[in-house]
Amino acid sequence: MITIRPFANSDAKALVEIYRHSVTEIGPNAYNPEQVAVWAKLLPTPERFIEIMTDGRFSLVAVDDNDQVVAFGDVEADGHIGFLYALPDFAGKGIVTKLYDALEAHARKQDIGKLYSEASEFAKSFLLKQGFGVVERRDFEVAGVPIHNYAVEKRLRAPR
C-alpha cells in the first residue's frame, strides 16, 4: 500500500536516487544520451533537497509499507510544481496520480489560481491527463547541450 506523507529531512537521500533513476531510465525514452547526461548533472545533493523541500513549499512523498520513498512532488505558494518524480518501477501505477492529487488539493485549499510547471516529454504526457495545457515548447541549452521541455499550466479557478 502507498501512503502520501509530508517530506522529512531523512527522505533527502531517497529523493536523490529517485531523481537519478527517473532521469537516467525514463529520460532516454524522449531524450538523447547527451541530453540525459546533462539533465542528470542537474541532480541536487541531499543537502540541497532539504533546502528546497523545506523553503516554504508544500512537499510530499509517496512511501511504501516499509516507509521507503518511491515518489515525491511539491507545489510552491504561487502554484509552481518544481518536482514530480517517481522511481521507474512505480511509474504508470497510479502512485504519481495519487501524489499529484494531494498536491492539487493543497493548492485548492490555499486558493491558488493555477498550477504551472516546466515539464519533460514524459511529465507533459502525465500532466495533460491531469487537465494541464501546453503553453509553449521551451528550447534551451544546458552546458552547451540543446534540450527542451514544455511550459504547462492548469487553471484551478478563474483569474480575479
Q: Model confidence over 45-59: pLDDT tens digits?
A: 999 999 999 999 999
Domain count, the chain: 1
**143, part of any domain:** no
- Phi, then psi, of 42 in degrees rounded to 5: -80, 0
pLDDT of 76 reads: 98
49 close to 73: Cβ distance less than 8 angstroms: no
d(CA 59, CA 30): 27
Q: Model confidence over 129-145: pLDDT tens digits?
A: 999 999 999 999 999 99
**126, part of any domain:** no
124 close to 58: Cβ distance less than 8 angstroms: no
Q: Give the single-character DSSP code of 70.
A: E
**87, part of any domain:** yes
Average pLDDT over residues 70-82: 98
- H-only helix segments in 22-157: 33-40, 46-53, 95-109, 121-129
The model carries a pTM of 0.95
Mean pLDDT score of the chain: 96
Secondary structure class of 7 (helix, strand, coil): coil
Domain holding 10: CATH number? 3.40.630.30
**18, part of any domain:** yes
**68, part of any domain:** yes
d(CA 29, CA 46): 26
Q: Give the single-character DSSP code of 44.
A: P
**86, part of any domain:** yes
- Indicate left, alpha or beta for 153 from its phi (over 0: left) and psi (-120 to 50: alpha): beta
**28, part of any domain:** yes
Provide the 10 A C-beta neighbour count for residue 5.
13
**128, part of any domain:** no
Domain of residue 78: give its range.
3-113
pLDDT of 40 reads: 93
